[in-house]
Structure formats: C-alpha cells, structure tokens
Chains A and B, each alone.
Chain A
Amino acid sequence: GAVVSQHPSWVICKSGTSVKIECRSLDFQATTMFWYRQFPKQSLMLMATSNEGSKATYEQGVEKDKFLINHASLTLSTLTVTSAHPEDSSFYICSARRDYSQETQYFGPGTRLLVL
C-alpha cells in the first residue's frame, strides 16, 4: 500500500507561537491531500482539502487564516497552525489520494499538538 508520513509526530509549543506540520506521500504522487483534526474520544473532522498548485478548500467553521495550508508539490502538503492556543491542542492527521478518480485515501500517522 501507499505510504504517507507526517512530521513531527508530536510537538509541544507555547501559546502564541506557530507550528508547521508536514505531510508527505512517500511512494506516490498525491493530487489531493486532506487535513483532519481529532480531539480526544472524538472522531476525525475534516478541516480542509488541498489540490496541488491551488488554494485549499476549508470546511465550514475552520479559519483559513489560522490554519494555513500549502500544497506546493505532488508529494508535500504543510499545515501551519498560526498563533496557537491551548484549544488548538489536538491530533492532526493528513491523508492523500493518488488522483481524482482513486477511491482509496492513505492516511499519515498523525501529529499530536500540545499548546501550553
């Protein structure tokens, strides 16, 4: 199966700082990447969808200026949490899809963010 990696796997930061999370498709080119957030004991919530070379599409209620997404290449997407606050502490998971018609999404291992 295809492999998606995330870096870092966990991060602790101070309130007010920005944190960048990388998502890479290691053995395939991903035309579309997705960012999810998961709070403890809850399910995954889709934050945004990004297609390579174009602006991300954000889900309702997700602030695009706070969660900056860049999908500059077919193998890399980044999520930057700007001016992080304790309520942003969560498990952030990316996934990637090979092409528009592909049925399967491959998920990364997740990044646990703790904002103090």
Chain B
Amino acid sequence: DAKTTQPNSMESNEEEPVHLPCNHSTISGTDYIHWYRQLPSQGPEYVIHGLTSNVNNRMASLAIAEDRKSSTLILHRATLRDAAVYYCILRDPISSGSARQLTFGSGTQLTVLP
C-alpha cells in the first residue's frame, strides 16, 4: 500500500500561513491525496482532497507536486482553532482492497501560538 510521511509536529504563529508537508513517493496513478484533521477529543474532519491539480476550498489549499510524490496543505491564516492533528492519506477509489479505505498514519500535530 502507498504510504505517506509527515513531520510529527509543527508550530505556527496565529494569523500566519502554515505549510504542512506530506511525502508519498510510492503513490500510484489512481491514488487521491486526502487531508483530514482531528481536533482534540473529536472525530476527524475532512479538509481537502485532490488528484493532480492544485485545489482550493474555504478551509485550505492543496498544492500537489508535478510528480505527485509530495503535497502540501496550506492554511492561509492559522487560527487557534486550527490546532489539530493533520492527516495526509492516500486513497484509491478504484481498488477493491484496503487501498480504498482511509488508512490513518500518525499525522502532524499542529500547534498554533497566539
């Protein structure tokens, strides 16, 4: 299964942009890149996902490298409420096996400093 690598933790100052990296060097051509985040004592929350092109939504932007072996989640202005564990997950919607599931790694703990 394609796996992702993320830093264990990152810090950011409030009101500043945050770039959360994710490496997925063994990504397959049909893997989508998903980002979820989990606030303390809550279930995960969908953030964004993409395949090849960069994506923007109201929560964040997703920048995908041209070779798709890495991606970056961008929070344009971090707030204290953005403090969470951010998970970068690969999912293949075509696969009939475990690659179709959302498999959570350890993620990146983002701390936002006031």
**A residues in contact (CB < 8 Å) with B:** 1, 4, 6, 34, 36, 43-46, 49, 91, 93-95, 101, 103-110, 112
Contacts and interface: CB of A to CB of B under 8 A. Distances in A.
A44 B102 CA distance: 10
A103 B101 contact: no
Given A34-B101, A44-B104, A46-B103, A103 B34 contact: yes
Interface residues of B, number: 21
A43 B107 contact: yes
Contacts of A110: 41-43
Contacts of A108: 43
B104 A43 contact: yes
Contacts, number: 49
Contact of A1 (B43, B46, B101, B104): B46
Given A43-B105, A46-B101, A46-B103, A106 B93 contact: no
B44 interface: yes
Contacts of A104: 46, 49
Majority SS at the chain A contact face? strand
Interface of B: 32, 34, 36, 38, 41-46, 49, 87, 91, 93, 101-107
B44 A93 contact: yes
9 contacts: A4-B43, A95-B44, A101-B93, A103-B32, A104-B46, A104-B49, A107-B44, A108-B43, A110-B42
Most chain A Cβ neighbours within 10 Å, of B41, B44, B87: B44
A116 B98 CA distance: 34
Given A34-B101, A46-B101, A105 B46 contact: yes
A56 B19 CA distance: 38
Given A46-B101, A104-B49, 4 more contacts: A34-B102, A46-B103, A94-B43, A110-B41
Contacts of A95: 43-44, 102
Contacts of B43: 4, 6, 93-95, 107-110
A2 to B, nearest CB: 9
